[in-house]
Structure 1
């Protein structure tokens, strides 16, 4: 997928120098600390993740994080994929292609790393442009209760492996504190 890049920004893996900027982006984009706190806890506790920043010069203007998500099949065995969350862009830079660029790059890296799927709890008007579909259409549910059907979506990165797979997706426990 290509997109019209409206600003000149670079996307790269997070570095130690980006951590304060990432926290600020998360706080300002969500207007609270919950998502920023979860990102910090995941960075401390999660051995495998994809964390990308969008930068204009040295300024972090966007951030996306992919962490392990486990699909427990109805037969009892599991498949490891990724959960995309959170995606954040500084309010003054939103709707200028930064979130799109981060999603495309992150999904590309997830596919290259061999993950069979990515799930997201998010805006049903935004994520379908990247190939996400309601997970329920595949018989896949979110472990969290009271999640609107259209908000829990999945993108199949390896459709052949995922054919006929049904079950429940569990995010890492660090997400349990976010409402």
Structure 2
């Protein structure tokens, strides 16, 4: 089920089905949050082209934290997105609250234990402070996180569609990379 070539860590005691399930759940969480981040990036780029928001920043924000900060300023400014202020703020709050789990899934070492929890081992550097964190997820817990992340992603996708339909970003940025 999980090809040997895909296994980053060799643990002969882990059943293939258990490893596959955890890998799928971890991937689902990452996919969901990357989808949300992509939609927020799209909104930030669009807003940077709108006259009411253009002066809030010289260039579209590069980092995730800068995009969130910029979008909060956009929502606090009179303009086309004013009618989405409460909803937009709720989305940004939820997204920021999810950063820890998203980062854990993206940057942690993972151990899948037979008949035990899946352990995520991460080293976090925040404000010059180094913290070592170990987080355990029992069967069912990681699935609940994945379900919440996927629901959030689908909701953001729907809201983005309501706002912009299938209108592409009006720029030369629609390049396809092989």
Q: TM-score, normalised by structure 1?
A: 0.27
Q: 1 or 2, which has the higher helix percentage? A: 2
Larger of the two Rg values belongs to structure: 2
* Larger relative strand fraction: 1
